[in-house]
Amino acid sequence: MMATVVASAPGKVHLIGEHSVVYGEPAIIAAISLRCTVSATRSESMRIWGRELHQTLEATPREWATSLEQACAIHRSCMQSKNFRPLFDLMKKKPMNLPLVASALVLEKLSVRTGANIKIRSDIPIGSGLGSSAALAVSMAKALSTAYCYELSSDEINRIAFEIEQFNHGTPSGGDNSTCCLGGLIWFEKRPPVNIIRQVEGAIPGNLSNFLLVQTRKREKKTGQLLQIVRDLPEDFRVVRVKILGRVTGEMFGALGRKDAATIKRLMNEAQQVLAELRVSTVEIDQLTEAIRRIGGGAKLSGAGGGGFVICFHEDRKRLEETIRGMGYSPCEVQLGVKGVRLEASA
C-alpha cells in the first residue's frame, strides 16, 4: 500500500499593501489560523483523482478526475496565454478545476509520469481575500512532492505554488503564496527574479490581538479580474495611488513596531480610501469601514477586494465588536502570525 502524506498551509490576511504590491511596492501580510489540508497518495495509474471539501461553502464534497496528460495540457496552454481575459471568460463558462491543475503542475515539475489520489479539506472561505488558492497551492506542492519522496526546500515549494497562483490569478505578486508557505508576519516586495521576503514578527512586538476580520458579501469577481480593473485605470491616476499605498505600508511597519494605535488606524483608513479610488471596494465595505472610522477605529478591505473580508482595528475591542454586530456582521476570530506549511502526518 502507498503511504498517504498530509500537509497543511495557512490562509493569509493583508494588513496593508494589496494591489500596490503587484507594482513593486511593499505589503505586510500575516498567516492566519484557518488552514487548507491536502492528503496525497501516489498512484501507479496515469490519473489524478481528487475529492474536495470546503467547510465554509459546501456540505457535500466535490470530486474530480482526469488523465495526467490532459491536466498537464490544460495547464500548459493557460500559462502560454499572456492575455488572461479569454481564460477568465472560459472559466466563467466552465469552471477550471484549480486543484486538478495544481496537482498536475506539481507532478509535471517533478517529472513524475504517474498519478495521485488527492483529498482536500479547507477552512478558508474561497474568493474572500484570505488566500484560499495560495494555501491550496502550497499544501498541494508539499503533500504531493513528499508523497513522491522529494524533499523540497520552502523556496522550491513556494516557487511551484507561485506558478499555480499565476495560473489562477494571471499576474499575482507572489505575496500570498510566500506568506502561506513561510507563515508568521511577512514583509514582501516583488522584485523578480528574487523577491524581498522578510519574516518580521520579531520587529513587531505583541500578538496583533486587536485586529478583527469581518466577512462582507462574497465577491463576484476573481482576483485576476480585480487586478485587471486596476491595470485598466489611466496610468498616471494609478501610479500616484500605488505610490501612496507604498508610502503608507512603510509607515505602517514603523507604527506596528511602536504599537502606535493612532497611526495604525489612520494608515488603515488612508489605505481604504485609496483602494476605493482604485475601484476595488464595494458599497458594503465602504459602509462598514465608515462605521468603524466613526467610532475612532481603522478598517480596510483585505486582499483583492470586490467583496470578501475587511480587517478592522481598535484598541477598544468590545466597542469594535459592538459596531461590527450593529452593522449586521459577526467578527471572525482568527489568530494572526501562525506557522506556515507543515506536514501533519504520513500514514
Site residues (vs ligand MEV, CB under 6 A): 18-19, 21-22, 129, 172-173, 175-176, 223, 303-304
Spatial contact of 68 and 107, defined as CB atoms under 8 Å apart: yes
Of the pair 172, 337, the CB lying nearest ligand MEV is at: 172
Distance in Å, CB of 138 to ligand MEV, minimum: 14
Spatial contact of 340 and 44, defined as CB atoms under 8 Å apart: no
Instruction: Work out the angle at residue 254's Cα, subtended by the Cα atoms of residues 250 and 258, and round it to the nearest 5 degrees.
Output: 165
Of the pair 115, 131, the CB lying nearest ligand MEV is at: 131
The C-alpha atoms of residue 197 and residue 200 are separated, in whole angstroms, by: 9
Of the pair 303, 337, the CB lying nearest ligand MEV is at: 303
Of the pair 9, 147, the CB lying nearest ligand MEV is at: 9
Of the pair 173, 272, the CB lying nearest ligand MEV is at: 173
Instruction: Work out the angle at residue 127's Cα, subtended by the Cα atoms of residues 125 and 129, and round it to the nearest 5 degrees.
Output: 85
> Considering only CA atoms, which of 76, 59, 98, 56 is closest in space to residue 224?
98
Of the pair 302, 323, the CB lying nearest ligand MEV is at: 302
| Cβ count within 10 A of residue 141 | 33
Distance in Å, CB of 229 to ligand MEV, minimum: 11
Of the pair 298, 308, the CB lying nearest ligand MEV is at: 308
In 3-state terms, what secondary structure has residue 1? coil
Provide Rg for the chain, Cα atoms.
Answer: 20
Distance in Å, CB of 190 to ligand MEV, minimum: 8
Q: Which three cell numbers stand for residue 315?
A: 484598541
The C-alpha atoms of residue 333 and residue 312 are separated, in whole angstroms, by: 12
Spatial contact of 121 and 132, defined as CB atoms under 8 Å apart: no
Distance in Å, CB of 35 to ligand MEV, minimum: 17
In 3-state terms, what secondary structure has residue 6? strand
Distance in Å, CB of 227 to ligand MEV, minimum: 6
Distance in Å, CB of 337 to ligand MEV, minimum: 17
Q: Which three cell numbers stand for residue 205?
A: 512586538
Of the pair 10, 129, the CB lying nearest ligand MEV is at: 129
CA 297 to chain centre: 25
Distance in Å, CB of 312 to ligand MEV, minimum: 18
Cis peptide before 99 (omega within 30 of 0): no
Distance in Å, CB of 192 to ligand MEV, minimum: 13
CA 336 to chain centre: 14
Q: Which three cell numbers stand for residue 24?
A: 513593486
The C-alpha atoms of residue 136 and residue 54 are separated, in whole angstroms, by: 11
Distance in Å, CB of 197 to ligand MEV, minimum: 13
Residue nearest to ligand MEV (CB): 172
Of the pair 115, 183, the CB lying nearest ligand MEV is at: 183
